[in-house]
Chains A and B, each alone.
Chain A
Amino acid sequence: MGEAPLLRLREVSKSFGAVAAVQNVSLDLYGGEAHALVGENGAGKSTLVKLLAGVHRPDSGTVELDGNPVELNGPADAKAAGIAVIYQEPTLFPDLSVAENIAMGRPPLGRFKTVDRTAMIRQAGELFKRLGVSIDPNRPARGLSIADQQLVEIAKALSAQARVVVMDEPTAALTGVEVERLFAVARSLRDDGAALVFISHRFEEITALCERVTIMRDGKHVSTDLLSEISVDEMVRRMVGRELGALFPKQQVDPGAVVLSVDGLSRDPVFADVSFEVRAGEIVALAGLVGSGRSEVVQSIFGVDPRDAGTVKVLGKTLKPGSPRQAMAAGVALVPEDRRQQGLLMELSIERNVTLPRSRALSQLGFLTGSSERRSAKEWTERLKTKYARLSDEVGTLSGGNQQKVVLAKWLSMAPKLLIVDEPTRGIDVGTKAEVHRLMSSLAAEGVAVLMVSSELPEVLGMADRVLVMREGRLVAELDRDRATEESVMFAAMGQEVSL
């Protein structure tokens, strides 16, 4: 590529509080070229996109367009500079017409500076014609399929004469035909001289569309190569390449009787035909990319979410769909992913939170007595080494790690037979992480069956006796502890052959 780059990021960094989301990343984008950006969840791709979109401002480093530094102080600046971003979730105005969505920001003006609707509709029609689709420009954006919404977003980019088009996982919600159509449009944009940035977890799409690939890990730039010069194996290795610490004190346990047995579980369109077992003393990890349906599966097992088909048995007893109460009675505990939303009542005291699921058992003659509540809460918070001033403090005043311990205490005090944890260590520090892991391991040693959803590969590999990998709503691989490696899990999660 002899010519100068169209857009150039030089050593940009962006931190949120103590978290360095993007550190010293440089990136050159050339006109007429599609550039893939890959990395694990949390590698900093989305932050980089938001820097380009003007949503965030870099803490340091510069953005250069045609060799001249530009300041992107807001989305309007990025738009004016010819940068268009198509987000995974399209951002349209549902109440306004498709034509108006496309023209918003720079509508064609007629007499007395009024918005010229006829011209607006004609322009939208021309853009759709160029894209080879027929969406009625007059209809409201409400009710458009995700694929059509993305086409409207692309029409927006075209109408703004964008020279840099960034697509953040545009294909995640599309069917095969829709992906083909999107790619045809993307290729024609590229051939007209635009610089394309394409983010995806699917390697077959990356190789089909892009010329160059940049790999990011932990907020840092790892490498940039021509796709013709790098293998998929090598990309995966560079994406995940990090040391496995001694954070994972999994004890060897001989699995006992089957505790959880899931058969043919389906919920259209989120997941289909999921079957597996978890035995006493076993930790089974459910791995896969964000959005592959893992959380939905466990929520459906617990009965928070409905299911269309399939059976769930706990210790041989079939659970009714949609009944968390029955699941709890059968000895199932679920520690949800988002503790703020689903796990804790932030305004209530620590003891009240811990004893909530058992308030009936702890009450005498229907009244909750403070002393029984306190005794039970004290026992479990001490066992988990939770740090707090008083048991009567509001949970909201604790740190994230200690909040997570309170959630765990709440469910462990029920003495569950099956513990389901969804992202058990998200957002907590390394020390607390190790404690949570130690606790899960000792519970398994006591004969509790543990089902863990986790996006952190080191956690999955370090803790699990078996790894189940989900991809697009289906269980695609089951790997024993000794067969599960970072590569084999990532390959399965991304739909590549497991080569061992």
Chain B
Amino acid sequence: MTAVDLPRNHLATRRSSLDLVLRARELGIVLALAALVAVTTISNPRFLSGQSIRDILLGTAILAVLAVGQAVVVITRNIDLSVGSVLGLSAFTVGTLLRDHPGLPVIGALLIGAAVGGVCGAVNGVLVRYGNVPALVVTLGTLYVVRGITYFWAGGQQINADELPGGFLDFGNATLLGIPYLVLIALLVLVITGVVLRSYRVGRELYAMGSSPQAARLAGISVGRRTIGAFGVSGALAGLAGVLFAARFGTIDAAAGTGYELNVVAAVVVGGVAVFGGSGSVWGAALGALLLTTIGSSLAVLEINQFWQQAIVGGLILLAIGADRLVAARVAATLKKRGSHVH
């Protein structure tokens, strides 16, 4: 405990280097993305054609909406595995409604989808909160339950593009100033969630809960309500993604979105959201979604066997977790040195 104060500029440089380390995560994804695009484009210039970029962006939009919701849950030290099934249920609900009531406006479809998902998410949250069961188990259960309900309801039937109103399908393809509506919606979701998490009390409390559940309770945060809220958001966004899915593909059966949950979790983890909660951002999660989608297209363009895609995604997850551990160790070492000093 020395009485020596560090020179101000010394402290400042240390701080900025620390911030750089913390920000390096998002930077790393951007660099990986740039390298991937560069290599693919050199090999096949058509990779940067309008259609190809459009496909990547549309795919990313749906995955990113799911990833943003998932990030909200993971930040609170939980996980939501039911998002793929919720997407399926929402897509099928909205598809059926639109087939039977072609006059339903697009905004109505979006709200209904989000509401269906929100209810599923709230159920998850209530089970986690009051059942005192880990989220992994609860949402694994609802993954099957929700999918089962969708299969039961749909029977073997499928909703085809020609049964859906033209206005809805146009919404899936139309653009505003050259940007597809789906991408705009995803950006809107991203920005709103990002700002709430970063700058609003509710958002900061979600980080606090994930960082130390016990301390959160002692700090007087209503942990139960926030948990249910986080799952509600994840569910609602999965429901919204279901509507986007329906608009993009036009063909919906009971299997829509099967297996999406793992892509979503992968995007979140690659995007630098800590699986033990308390840190990470939705921006990272969205970048993760963009990277994973780009890898998919890029491998197709490079004519690499698509089975490799899974191995590459797996490798990326391990790399991301490894990088996290490394960064955490570095940061811890830096912080240890910066104790307090008596004036």
B278 contacts A by Cβ under 8 Å: yes
B343 contacts A by Cβ under 8 Å: yes
A133 contacts B by Cβ under 8 Å: yes
- Interfacial residues of chain A within 67-117, with CB under 8 A of chain B in the complex: 74-80, 85, 87, 91-96, 100, 104-105, 107, 109, 113-115
B201 contacts A by Cβ under 8 Å: yes
For the complex, what is the distance from the CA of A142 to the CA of B332, rounded to whole Å? 7
A93/B212 contact (C-beta < 8 A), A75-B218, A104-B204, A143-B332 known: yes
The answer to whether A93 and B341 touch across the interface, beta carbons within 8 angstroms, is no
Q: List 6 A-B contacts (CB under 8 A).
A: A87-B218, A95-B211, A95-B279, A96-B211, A135-B340, A143-B332
Q: Point out residues on A near B: beta carbons under 8 Å.
A: 53, 55, 74-80, 85, 87, 91-96, 100, 104-105, 107, 109, 113-115, 132-136, 138-140, 142-145, 147-148, 151, 177-178, 181
For the complex, what is the distance from the CA of A306 to the CA of B268, rounded to whole Å? 39
A75/B220 contact (C-beta < 8 A), A95-B279, A115-B204 known: yes
- Interfacial residues of chain B within 182-241, with CB under 8 A of chain A in the complex: 195, 199-201, 204-205, 207-208, 210-212, 214-222
The answer to whether B207 and A93 touch across the interface, beta carbons within 8 angstroms, is yes
Task: List 4 tightest A-B contacts by C-beta distance, closest first.
Answer: A76-B220, A143-B335, A95-B278, A91-B215
Task: Out of A74, A87, A93, A133, name the residue touching B220 (CB < 8 Å).
Answer: A74
List residues of chain B with CB within 8 A of the CB of A100: 204
B10 contacts A by Cβ under 8 Å: no
B311 contacts A by Cβ under 8 Å: no
The answer to whether A104 and B205 touch across the interface, beta carbons within 8 angstroms, is yes
For the complex, what is the distance from the CA of A96 to the CA of B338, rounded to whole Å? 16
The answer to whether B1 and A177 touch across the interface, beta carbons within 8 angstroms, is yes
Task: Out of A80, A87, A115, A133, name the residue touching B201 (CB < 8 Å).
Answer: A115
For the complex, what is the distance from the CA of A85 to the CA of B211, rounded to whole Å? 20
A133/B204 contact (C-beta < 8 A), A142-B332, A143-B336 known: no
Min CB gap A83→B, angstroms: 11
Task: Out of A80, A94, A136, A178, name the residue touching B1 (CB < 8 Å).
Answer: A178
A104/B5 contact (C-beta < 8 A), A94-B278, A181-B342 known: no
With CB as the reference atom, state the residue of chain B lying closest to A129: B343
The answer to whether A133 and B342 touch across the interface, beta carbons within 8 angstroms, is yes
Majority-rule SS of B interface residues = helix
For the complex, what is the distance from the CA of A142 to the CA of B329, rounded to whole Å? 11
7 additional A-B residue pairs with CB within 8 Å, beyond A105-B220, A107-B204, A139-B338? A78-B220, A79-B220, A93-B212, A95-B278, A104-B221, A114-B199, A136-B338
Min CB gap B219→A, angstroms: 5
B178 contacts A by Cβ under 8 Å: no
B7 contacts A by Cβ under 8 Å: no
Min CB gap B257→A, angstroms: 32
Most buried by B among A104, A115, A177: A104
With CB as the reference atom, state the residue of chain A lying closest to B19: A138
For the complex, what is the distance from the CA of A138 to the CA of B343, rounded to whole Å? 18
List residues of chain B with CB within 8 A of the CB of A91: 212, 214-215, 218-219
The answer to whether B339 and A93 touch across the interface, beta carbons within 8 angstroms, is no
List residues of chain B with CB within 8 A of the CB of A151: 340
List residues of chain A with CB within 8 A of the CB of B212: 91-94
For the complex, what is the distance from the CA of A55 to the CA of B195, rounded to whole Å? 32
The answer to whether B218 and A115 touch across the interface, beta carbons within 8 angstroms, is no
A92/B335 contact (C-beta < 8 A), A79-B220, A115-B204 known: no
The answer to whether B199 and A133 touch across the interface, beta carbons within 8 angstroms, is no
List residues of chain B with CB within 8 A of the CB of A136: 11, 15, 338
For the complex, what is the distance from the CA of A92 to the CA of B214, rounded to whole Å? 9
List residues of chain A with CB within 8 A of the CB of B332: 142-143
The answer to whether A55 and B218 touch across the interface, beta carbons within 8 angstroms, is yes
For the complex, what is the distance from the CA of A87 to the CA of B219, rounded to whole Å? 12
The answer to whether A133 and B341 touch across the interface, beta carbons within 8 angstroms, is yes
A134/B343 contact (C-beta < 8 A), A79-B220, A94-B212, A115-B204 known: yes
For the complex, what is the distance from the CA of A115 to the CA of B195, rounded to whole Å? 11
The answer to whether B15 and A93 touch across the interface, beta carbons within 8 angstroms, is no
For the complex, what is the distance from the CA of A151 to the CA of B218, rounded to whole Å? 17
List residues of chain A with CB within 8 A of the CB of B335: 139-140, 142-144
The answer to whether B201 and A107 touch across the interface, beta carbons within 8 angstroms, is yes
For the complex, what is the distance from the CA of A94 to the CA of B15, rounded to whole Å? 17
Task: Out of B5, B204, B219, name the residue touching A75 (CB < 8 Å).
Answer: B219
